[in-house]
């Protein structure tokens, strides 16, 4: 049997980690290549193909595409793939905070009889949240804590003197609508929590820059008819990108393995 053609959109820290990890594992699966628009740098390593346009990629008939690029790629590229009948794992899921994008993705998936799969990413406990929601949730809160360098290039830079921060400082308190939209490389996890639980408007979010943090910490607290739970993940960052947790890349690999396995656990 020939091995399935698995392709990523984007070839940054996450896709490279996925490619290396699949290669090391014993599933027989590997990343066959990636789609990155022509104007962006990204040489394809030996054994991998690079596609510059979504039409070229569709012509190659991939079995699974993994979006690990940007919110824009979710909006611009994912619907076309779904319409062409190609299943897509979505990693930049903060883009799903926009109702129009969700509607387009759902319609495209229906047209192409394909599936859009949102990864759990750097957070856990979503299985509990999804189940608990069925009996009614009263509150869901997320707290994200990362070292100041991980918040570089985000609105936190305007609010705090990140390089000289001496103590843990809260710079955002609000809902998951704004958090997912305004921190597209740092808080996709808020979208995972919102989608599994109370939705974007009713999910409370607090973001912290902490010079003492050694990694990316994600805290999730939910209360409802089921009872309550509180989890804390202490994630190591990916060496290539301190904004991204290693667990997020592992969750993508897990979604790929699950997609091709006959027993879903």
* Binding region for NAD(+): 122, 188
Q: Is 218 a catalytic residue?
A: yes
Q: Which stretch binds ligand NAI (CB under 6 A): 11-19, 149-157, 173-181, 198-206?
A: 11-19
In angstroms, rounded to a whole number, what is the distance separating the alpha carbons of residues 74 and 71?
5
What's the first-to-final CA gap in the chain, in angstroms?
24
In angstroms, rounded to a whole number, what is the distance separating the alpha carbons of residues 181 and 176?
8
In angstroms, rounded to a whole number, what is the distance separating the alpha carbons of residues 187 and 201?
15
- The pair of structure tokens assigned to 92 is 């930049």
**Identity of the residue, 71 or 133, whose beta carbon is nearer to ligand NAI in the bound complex:** 71
- Looking only at the bridges linking them, the beta strands covering 137-146 and 216-224 are antiparallel
Among the listed residues 62, 121, 125, 148, the single contact to ligand OAA using CB under 6 A:
121
Interface with ligand NAI includes 248 (CB under 6 A)? yes
Catalytic residue among 30, 39, 71, 218: 218
Give yes or no for a contact between 249 and 17, defined as CB atoms under 8 angstroms apart.
Answer: yes
Among the listed residues 248, 252, 255, 256, the single contact to ligand OAA using CB under 6 A:
248
Angle, helices 13-24 vs 246-259, to 10°: value is 50
Q: Which of residues 77-96 bind ligand NAI (CB under 6 A)?
A: 91-93
68 binds, among ligand NAI, ligand OAA, none (CB under 5 to 8 A by kind): ligand NAI
In angstroms, rounded to a whole number, what is the distance separating the alpha carbons of residues 235 and 140?
21
Interface with ligand NAI includes 69 (CB under 6 A)? yes
Among the listed residues 4, 30, 42, 48, the single contact to ligand NAI using CB under 6 A:
42
In angstroms, rounded to a whole number, what is the distance separating the alpha carbons of residues 40 and 52?
9
Residues annotated in a binding site = 122, 188
Question: What are φ and ψ of residue 209, in 5° steps?
Answer: -100, 125
Q: Which of residues 124-183 bind ligand NAI (CB under 6 A)?
A: none
Interface with ligand OAA includes 70 (CB under 6 A)? no
Furthest-apart CA atoms within the chain: distance in Å: 57
Among the listed residues 6, 7, 11, 246, the single contact to ligand NAI using CB under 6 A:
11
For ligand NAI, the binding residues (CB under 6 A) are 9-15, 35-37, 40, 42, 68-70, 72-73, 91-93, 119, 121-122, 184-185, 188-189, 241, 244, 248
For ligand OAA, the binding residues (CB under 6 A) are 121-122, 185-189, 216, 235, 243-245, 248
């Amino acid at each position: 049997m020939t091995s399935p053609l698995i392709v990523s959109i984007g070839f940054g820290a996450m896709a490279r980690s996925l490619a290396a990890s699949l290669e090391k594992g014993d599933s027989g699966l590997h990343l066959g290549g990636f789609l990155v628009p022509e104007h962006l740098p990204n040489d394809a390593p030996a054994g991998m193909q690079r596609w510059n346009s979504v039409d070229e990629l569709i012509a190659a008939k991939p079995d699974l595409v993994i979006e690990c690029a940007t919110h824009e790629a979710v909006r611009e590229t994912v619907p076309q793939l779904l319409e062409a009948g190609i299943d897509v794992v979505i990693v930049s899921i903060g883009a799903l905070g926009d109702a129009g994008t969700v509607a387009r993705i759902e319609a495209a998936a229906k047209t192409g009889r394909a599936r859009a799969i949102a990864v759990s990413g750097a957070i856990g406990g979503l299985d509990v949240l999804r189940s608990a929601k069925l009996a009614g949730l009263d509150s869901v809160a997320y707290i994200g804590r990362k070292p100041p360098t991980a918040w570089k290039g985000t609105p936190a830079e305007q609010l705090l003197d990140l390089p000289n921060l001496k103590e843990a400082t809260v710079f955002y308190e609000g809902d998951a609508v704004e958090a997912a939209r305004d921190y597209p490389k740092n808080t996709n996890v808020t979208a995972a929590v919102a989608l599994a639980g109370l939705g974007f408007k009713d999910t409370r979010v607090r973001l912290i820059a902490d010079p003492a943090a050694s990694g990316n910490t994600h805290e999730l607290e939910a209360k409802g008819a089921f009872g309550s739970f509180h989890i804390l993940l202490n994630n190591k960052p990916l060496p290539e990108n301190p904004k991204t947790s290693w667990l997020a890349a592992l969750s993508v690999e897990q979604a790929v393995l699950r997609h091709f396995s006959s027993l879903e656990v």
